Amino acid sequence: MPLLAAEPVSFWPPLMRVCLLVFLALTAIGTLAACSPPRPGKVSSFTPLRLFFFAGFLAVFAYQAFWQIFGYTNPSFVRFGRKYNRRSNAAELQTARGPILDRRGLVLAAPVPGDVWGRRYPLGAAAAHPLGYFDSRYGITAIERVFDPRLSGYDADIDKKSLKELLMTPRLKEGRPVNLTLDARLQKKAYDLLDGRKGAVVAIVPATGRILALVSSPAFDPQHPEEALRDAANTPAFNRAVQGLYPPGSTFKPVVAAVALDRGLDPVLNCSASGFVAGPHTPPIRDSEYYAYRRAGAVWKGWGNMGMHEAIVHSANTYFAQLGMRLGTMAFAELGVKTQIGKPLAYLEGDTGMLKTQAGNFPENPHRRSLAQLCIGQGRLLVTPLHVACFTAAIANDGVMMQPQLDADIKPETCSRLCKASAARRVKGAMAEVVTRGTGKTLNLPGLSVCGKTGTAQAAQGGDHAWFTCFAPKGKPAVAITVLVENAGFGAKAALPVARELLLECAEIGLLPPFSTK
């Protein structure tokens, strides 16, 4: 699993510094020889060797002069200067690193006065993955890295500044702040609810794509990143919310339903207890009720004839396996384009780069029989938790998927249209009944209309992954929440309780209208 990508701190490696000194010495000797007066009786001439040394001297001089004038515009050079500055008062003379703030102006990261590399993180491990770390030995990662020019008080965009501006503009006493869409309280609550279990939580505003919480667990202390890098067993430096790839299980069914409705597919299908066989030599796809009855020593009769609404409410595998076969490979490929699962999904553009998710695995030309597995969120289909949050939010937002965004200063931007508003409303109605009488009924909050979907996805190793994804309120969704807990079993038992507590927290901090749970 890839770790957080750190940008190296050292500008001149030790060997390069030695080579530079040797070259500089040879250049000086060659230049003196080239410029020395000729001996009596001999004619002076610039030999090719002397010309080489003279040109080298000019190149080194020009390079050094360039960094003396423009060095503060290069992140690597500035960090090199900070690290190796030997002046006793260097810390007091350096520009203080700017703060990182949440949506309400609460501090997520701030400088330590008098310490060039000092950085404090009030949320600690809870926000370590989106914020990253700023460390003299282990480098700079995540938001600290891509917004380093702004936070450090220098401008990375040198091409747009005139020479006069570069020479005359004074350095700031403090770097500029970075304003995020994260809510510190919700971020901390989500991290605490995971309680050290491997998993992720994403909370997003459906209408704007603004990310309110982006949590990965387990995490690490950003002030001591070396501890995370040494823990290979739990991989706390790995950001599961945007880099982890998992089969989405039944959280994928609402998207399949929406695309089917868009294409005029709304069949009533026979969903028998014996399951659905997609083709020769393929095992039957059955519903979880079949196995529950069998464990209890009873015989399940099956769903019988079932429409799409009830299939969503009861998360019927047999229905969506057949629906996938009817959709066909072309419609499934179109679904991949709309959800953008098969490519990295950008969620922040900084001064020096972008933060993106891992590209999911979306089979481009699947065999027709494999559609039965893919459309129940299994098979070769793999997604990140942020992808699931985005297409859940698209259902909430009348079929429009917004670009996920962590930068509070960026205007909302449409990512794609998943389906027509009419199809999204149909799916939304069924997801509301998932909570009131279906697989997610333990979430039922009488004072709040919640639309949700449970998911239990078979994992390559260990137990099933537990999913729950939802949004509320139904009429005008203000927040969408996706929870994943690795190898934790049923989504309704492991992931749903986390989402429930987060919805209550959203009401407490004003993200949702007040409601009574009685």
Distance from C-alpha of 186 to C-alpha of 409, rounded to nearest angstrom: 20
Bond before 75 cis per omega within 30 degrees: no
Phi, psi of 70 (to 5 degrees): -110, 5
* Contacts for 285-294: CB closer than 8 Å, 24+ residues apart: 285/317, 285/318, 285/321, 285/372, 285/373, 285/376, 286/317, 286/318, 287/314, 287/315, 287/316, 287/317, 287/318, 288/315, 288/317, 288/456
Round to whole Å and give the CA distance between 64 and 373. 62
- What is the reported pLDDT for 113? 83
Could you give the CA distance from residue 516 to residue 518 in angstroms, rounded to a whole number? Answer: 6
Place of tokens 């893919």: 374
The reported pLDDT for the residue numbered 146 is 95
What is the pTM assigned to this prediction?
Answer: 0.83
Sheet holding 107-112, edge to edge: 115-120, 107-112, 100-101, 178-179
Q: Each residue's pLDDT tens digit in the chain (518 positions)?
A: 344 555 444 444 454 455 556 666 666 666 565 555 655 555 555 566 666 666 666 666 666 666 555 555 555 665 555 555 544 444 444 668 899 999 999 999 999 887 878 899 999 999 999 999 998 888 899 999 999 989 987 754 444 555 455 445 555 567 899 999 999 999 999 999 999 999 999 999 999 999 999 999 999 999 999 888 888 888 999 999 999 999 999 999 999 999 999 999 999 999 999 999 998 888 999 999 999 999 999 999 999 999 999 999 999 999 999 999 999 999 999 999 999 999 999 999 998 899 999 999 999 888 888 999 999 999 999 999 999 999 999 999 999 999 999 999 999 999 999 999 999 999 999 999 999 999 999 898 888 999 999 999 998 888 999 999 999 999 999 999 999 999 999 999 999 999 999 999 999 999 998 876 66
- For residue 303, give the 3-state DSSP assignment: strand
**Separation CA 156–CA 349 (nearest Å):** 14
* Nearest partner of 359 among 375, 377, 381, 378, judged by Cα: 381
Length of the chain: 518
Cβ-based neighbours of 498, under 8 Å, separated by 6 or more: 190, 193, 194, 201, 468, 483, 485
Q: What confidence score (pLDDT) does residue 227 get?
A: 84
Express each pLDDT in 415-431 by its tens digit. Answer: 999 999 999 999 999 99
Report all structural domains of the chain as residue ranges with CATH numbers, in order of start.
14-36+45-79 (no CATH), 83-180 (3.90.1310.10), 185-228+244-508 (3.40.710.10)
The pLDDT of residue 91 is 44
Strand 211-217 and strand 451-457: the pairing is unpaired
